[in-house]
Amino acid sequence: MEADEIHERATETMEARHHTGINRTIAITVSFVALVMVLGKVKDDNIMRRMFAAQTAELDDWNYYQARSIKAHMFELQAQQWQLASATMPAPLSDAQRARIGAAVKKWQGEADRENAGKDSLQKKAEGEEKEYESLHLTDHQFHFSEALLTLAVTLFAVAALTQGTALYIVGVVVAAMGCIVTLGGFLGWQIELTFLKFLT
């Protein structure tokens, strides 16, 4: 065997080992990225269920708020009618009649005050549920963005495996790292404002 042939075979062996090595590295990296994607998907599904529950509770509380507002208004009108009736009676009222009208007015006004107090608590509760929904909605967007980054990274890894391109693999690692950071932020409750993606919504 000539020296040139030996050198050529040695070069081919080294290239084959290099290709095997980078493919193995890519396979391990893709496995890790896939694990992160699965965990993010499970977490995002739970967040979407919490979003639905918060939105439903908010709508229910606002409906109760409207109902209490209507009832309070009706009680206030009833109290005003009794007061107006007592003031416009043609004949003077006896003490017993005045006492009965005063008790009725006090009753209707008390009912109105009770409904207004319940209405205020419902408003605070509904506003809290609205804030919770908005926070969950932002986290949901973060998981969607991280999924897009990780999917792009897997695509880059696939092309790198086909072309044996180290540069593409490095770019894929950078993109995957960004996706992992955003995913971690979703798990830890970091409010990452993705302002530059608003044009997509």
Domain holding 116, by residue range, is 3-200
Number of domains in the chain: 1
CA angle, 82 as apex, 76 and 83 as ends, to 5°?
A: 90
CATH of the domain at 102: 1.10.287
Which amino acid is residue 18, in one-letter code? H
The torsion angle over the Cα atoms of residues 101, 105, 107 and 110, rounded to 10 degrees, is -160
Averaged pLDDT, 21-32: 87
For residue 94, give the DSSP letter: P
- pTM > 0.75: yes or no: no
Q: For residue range 176-197, what is the model confidence (pLDDT) as tens digits? A: 999 999 999 889 888 766 655 5
Reported as a single tens digit per residue, the pLDDT across 42-74 is 999 999 999 999 989 888 888 888 888 888 878
pLDDT band at 104 (very low <50, low <70, confident <90, very high): confident
